[in-house]
Amino acid sequence: MRPTDRITAYFEACSSGSAEEIASHFTTDAVIWDTNIRPVRGNDTIAAMWLKVRDRWGGAVWTVDSVVESGDGTTAAIEWQMTGNNPTDGRRFVFRGSEHYAFEHSQIAEIRQYWTFDPQRLDTGLIDYRYS
C-alpha cells in the first residue's frame, strides 16, 4: 500500500473506525511523537488514544489536506486538519498541523506530529494563511 493510501485510510479509521481498525495501520512497536504530549508507543495504545481524543472532542474528524511521499515509499509528510465541536460549549473548532511518517513494510512505524494546542484558540494553524 502506498503511503498516501495508508495515511488516508488511517485518518478515516481515526474519524470513524474501531480500535482494531486504527491499530491495523501501525507496526506493533510504532511510536507517535508530538509537540503537545509525551510519546505514544505501540499500535494498541495509539488506537486507544485516538478513540479517547475522538470522544473527548465530540466526534472529531481528521482529514488529509496534502501529502508528499518519498519515491521508495518509506517516508511521507502531510498537512492535516481535525474538525469537530467543543463538547463544553458547542463551538466549532479546526486544529491544523503537519506530520512526518516513517513506514516499515507499508505499515506506519513512526509519526512526528507538529501542531499547537491552545484551548483558548480552537482554530490553530498557520498565522494569516488563507486555508481553502
Residue 39's pLDDT is 97
Sequence-ordered list of residues with C-beta below 8 angstroms from that of 115, at least 6 positions apart, any chain? 34, 35, 36, 95, 96, 97, 98, 124
CATH number at residue 77: 3.10.450.50
Going by pLDDT thresholds of 50, 70 and 90, the confidence category of residue 116 is confident
In a domain, 129, yes or no: no
Contact indicator for 94, 82 with CB cutoff of 8 Å: yes
In a domain, 132, yes or no: no
The number of distinct structural domains making up the chain is 1
Alpha helices in 1-132 (DSSP H): 3-16, 19-23, 43-56
Residue 14 DSSP symbol: H
In a domain, 125, yes or no: no
Q: Which of 19-23, 68-72, 121-125 is predicted least confidently? A: 121-125
| Residues 35-57 pLDDT 10s | 989 999 999 999 999 999 999 88
In a domain, 37, yes or no: yes
Going by pLDDT thresholds of 50, 70 and 90, the confidence category of residue 74 is very high
| Structural domain span for residue 106 | 3-115
Residue 119's pLDDT is 72
- Percent of the chain predicted with pLDDT > 90: 73
In a domain, 126, yes or no: no
**Predicted TM-score (pTM) of this structure:** 0.90
